[in-house]
Structure 1
Amino acid sequence: MTGNAPDDRPHVTQTTPGERLGMPRRIAPALGLFLLSPLIAEYLLGNVPSSDIGGMIILAPMYGGGALIIREVTRRTGRGWPTLLLLGCAYGVLEASLIDQTLFNPDQLFEGDVSRSATLIPALGFSAGNAVGFTAGHAIWSIGVPIAIVETLVPRCGTTPWLGRLGLTVTCVVFVLGSLVLFNGIYDESGFMASPPQRIGAAVVVALLVVAAFVVGRRPRPATDRRAPKPWLVGTVGFVASAAFFVRPEDWWGPAVGLVLIAAMTVVITRWSRRDGWGVAHRLALAGGALLTYAFGGFLLLLLHGTANTVNLIGQTVLVLGALVLFLVARRAVPRASDLRGTADVR
């Protein structure tokens, strides 16, 4: 991995390994991402206890389908991580405001959450703290972390499309149907519907984020001769930043701290990614730091939600151990990914 593509665009060589691989070798990572996204986003987080694992039937189509669509669109258009994460932000707004409407519906929040009342913007009908948390949280943990891990696990097709046209079409249908099932289920239970201005405003924000995703990084920036930091340092910084984001205050300091952390990490990672040697190991380290935050945060949320019974604590422990094992397996694949010849190089 060299520093020749600081804008995160792929360096395409004469061969594309993804084209030589059979369908099972490409479908396997797609299925893995489909399942891993909701497992990290909701179960490892502790927002949904492991005793409700049956909820995967509803959550996977929306979470996993959304992650797959974002990943496939990004790779098919030759874009990189800035595009992927901005599309993740668009997904976060879409889910929280138009699908489950958690951003607007106070009944969807657990009783211990005081962020909504503490940072409520009455004119808009939502909490600034929740808006920052939902948007960034989905972009990082629902989309970015699972994609980084699964792509590292399959170095021969890590940056090439996994789905054909039919597969992508089916995924889109599954995502829409899963989202409708969740929307209707919540509406039938609560009877809540966001106001037309709220829905229109949210749709506009989603559209702007999608446009921004394909505008950012259009012009490559020159690489620097400085060496990239060691992956362990990148992972440590990622863990500290993500942990600070996770435990940010629930008053108005919360969204302020969250935005500062996002801005600071954007600047730091952008500069680091332009350095010589930046590659797969560094991206995986960032994902690992964020994964570790949910590993301890899940137990905290179980306690806050009042669902920390024996079954759920055992289930959470199994999830954490499984996440750590998965990360270690991905880490072992990094040298092979870096040494491959003829692969796409995406920052």
Structure 2
Amino acid sequence: MSIRRAAPAIALFFLSPLVAEFLLGDFTLAQLNFLILLAPAYGAAAVLIREVTRRAGRGWPTMVLLALTYGLVEEGLETQSLFNADYLHAHLLQHGFVPALGISIPWTIFVLALHTIFSMSVPIALIEEWTPRRTEPWLRRPGFIVITVLAVLGAAATFAISYADGHFMASPAQLTITVAIAAALVVTAFRLPRAVPASAAVPASAAVPASAAVPASAALPASAALPASAALPASAADGTLVSAGVSPALGSPSVAVAGSAAGSVPAPWAVLVMALIDGAVLSAIDPLPAAVSVPVVVVALAATLIVILRWSRRSGWDGRHRLALAAGGLLTYVWHSFTMRPVVPASDTLIVVSHAVFALAAVLLLVFGARRVEAREGRLWSSRPPRVATLPDRAAA
């Protein structure tokens, strides 16, 4: 297995647990050695979700459902915190507990959202935007097998550690229902409409006839290659490209994207603000009464999901917007970590220093990602297309 080829997968393998546990504030710098156990549990799962999705030629809707499945499996089958009233002695089920279901509605929504958004989706999005191979598999078959084995071992270790603390086991009915829901989520994830592959985009009969070709005198010189910012829209990179060519009337590239909708998309900074607001709303689910927090959080998450689905189908949606969503999630954990106490007792000084170090690392990662995206897209925060200098006519060599 080539280290260079697998570099994005290796980065995701370690970034996922660092975000999920250390940036969150559960552990301090003194517990960095815990990565040995946490990386298979979180990182291998994140890589596996991403690889399975991309190998199947699918995109973010499938990945998000698989991330939700991961959260359900971890909290319902491995740690069983959804059902264990004394999990980590944290009394997680006291707030909004529903006896008929045996779960706390606020905790269930909160922890599943944490895993879906922050543990899985945010690290995957960040690494994908760092690499030019965003929609390609990063691992060959041996690497895929290794990461699958590590994910299984990580899940088994998580269950063993959790079971050793109190020997709690959920009821057969609770476990069965959890497995059934997880299976339904996986089936749904792979039954979603698939993007039209580029290879099936333009039938031969639809080819532009030679008579409609642009005359040589109107052709752009080789030096006038399109800038990175004028690349195909993000949806085309996901395999939704239907046709691409030169418009005889306009003498400019014309691209049609399957499933793309008309309309504009907001500037990336607006997407970032929306993500930060959603993060703040989700963080308020515990301190507020369940009758208030649950409807507010559900409506906020559902509304955000709907608008993202609509915006992402439009041709103006690109890596800047995906990075903005990931940045909103990462920065939510940055500020929220300073409200957290680690699960392993530590001095106040170590806690503050750890939060600050992880926060600084998160910001530096975002700066690095922003520079990569800006170099690729030609712009970062603006919703307006970049200015392209007019090139003088040149005689053909």
TM-score with structure 1 length normalisation? 0.85
The residue that corresponds to 1:8 in the other structure is none
Structure 2 residue corresponding to 1:42, chosen from 17, 21, 30: 21
Counterpart of 2:329? 290
Distance (Å, rounded) in 1 between the aligned partners of 2:264 and 2:291: 38
Matched, 1:140 2:147: no
Deviation at 1:68, TM superposition (A): 0.5
Equivalent residues of 1:152, 1:337 under 8 A apart: no
Give, as a single letter, the amino acid of the residue that structure 1 aligns with 2:280: A
The question of 1:129 aligning with 2:168 is answered no
TM-score after normalising by structure 2: 0.75
> What letter is aligned with 1:324?
V
Deviation at 1:250, TM superposition (A): 5.1
Q: Does 1:246 align with 2:222?
A: no
Deviation digits for residues 66-115 of structure 1, max 9, x if unmatched? 1000000110011111110011000000000111111111222453x5x6
> Given the alignment of the two structures, is residue 152 of structure 1 paired with residue 129 of structure 2, yes or no?
yes
> Could you say which residue in structure 2 is the equivalent of 1:12?
none
Farther off after superposition, 145-154 or 101-110: 101-110
Q: 1:121 to 1:50 in 2, by over 3 A?
A: farther
The equivalences for 1:310-321 within 5 A come to 310-321=349-360
Distance 1:250 1:57, change over 3 A: farther
Question: Is residue 213 of structure 2 the alignment partner of residue 176 of structure 1?
Answer: no
State the distance in 2 between where 1:140 and 1:206 align: 17
Q: Does 1:190 find its partner at 2:166?
A: yes
Structure with the larger helix share: 1
Q: Could you tell me which of 316, 326, 336 is aligned with 1:277?
A: 316
Describe how 1:329-340 pairs up with structure 2 within 5 A: 329-338=368-377
**Residues 132 and 109 of structure 1: is their aligned pair in 2 closer, same or farther, counting only changes over 3 Å?**
farther
Residue in 2 that maps onto 1:27: 6
Structure 1 residues 126-179: Cα deviation after superposition (integer angstroms, max 9, x where no partner): 111111112111010011100111111112x12100111111111111111121
Give, as a single letter, the amino acid of the residue that structure 2 aligns with 1:77.
A
Contact 2:272 2:324 in 1 (8 A): yes
Structure 1: how far apart are the matches of 2:33 and 2:142?
Answer: 28
Asked if 1 retains the 8 angstrom alpha-carbon contact of 2:342 and 2:351, the reply is no
After superposition, residues 11-26 of structure 1 pair within 5 angstroms as 23-26=2-5
In the TM superposition, what are the counterparts of 1:214-225 in structure 2 within 5 Å?
214-218=190-194, 222-225=259-262
Is 1:54 aligned to residue 20 of structure 2? no
The structural deviation recorded for 1:304 is: 9.9
Distance 2:342 2:151 in 1: 31
**What letter corresponds to residue 309 of structure 1 in structure 2?**
D
**Structure 1 residues 235 and 197: CA distance shift in structure 2, 3 A:** same
1:163 equivalent to 2:163? Answer no
**Residue type at the aligned position of 2:181:** V
Q: Which runs of 5+ in 1 are unaligned?
A: 1-21, 340-347
C-alpha RMSD over aligned residues: 2.0
Distance 2:343 2:15 in 1: 24
Q: Is the contact made by 1:82 and 1:213 (CA closer than 8 Å) also made in structure 2?
A: yes
Tell me: CA distance 1:308–1:205, structure 2 relative to 1, closer, same or farther (3 Å). farther
Q: What is aligned with 2:393? A: none
Structure number with higher relative contact order (C-alpha < 8 Å, ≥ 6 residues apart): 1
Match of 2:76 among 70, 80, 97: 97
| Structure 1 match to 2:267 | 230
Pairing partner for 1:117 from 84, 94, 102: 94
- The alpha carbon displacement at 1:196 in A equals 1.0
CA distance in 2: counterparts of 1:308 and 1:263, whole angstroms: 39
Farther off after superposition, 117-126 or 139-148: 117-126
Change (3 A) 1:162 1:219: closer
> Structure 2: 5+ residue runs without aligned partners?
197-257, 379-397
User: Partners of 1:253 and 1:97 in 2: how far apart?
Assistant: 25
> Among the aligned pairs, what percent are the same residue?
40
Distance 1:193 1:152, change over 3 A: same
CA distance in 1, matches of 2:295, 2:342: 26
Listed one character per residue, the Cα deviations across residues 196-243 of structure 1 (whole Å, up to 9, x for unaligned) are 111111101111111111223347774233222111111111111122
Query: d(CA) in 2 for partners of 1:188 and 1:52?
Result: 20
Distance 1:117 1:305 in 2: 22
In the aligned structure 1, how far is the partner of 2:10 from the partner of 2:370?
20
Deviation (angstroms), 1:297: 0.6
Question: Which whole-Å CA distance do the structure 1 matches of 2:65 and 2:363 have between them?
Answer: 27
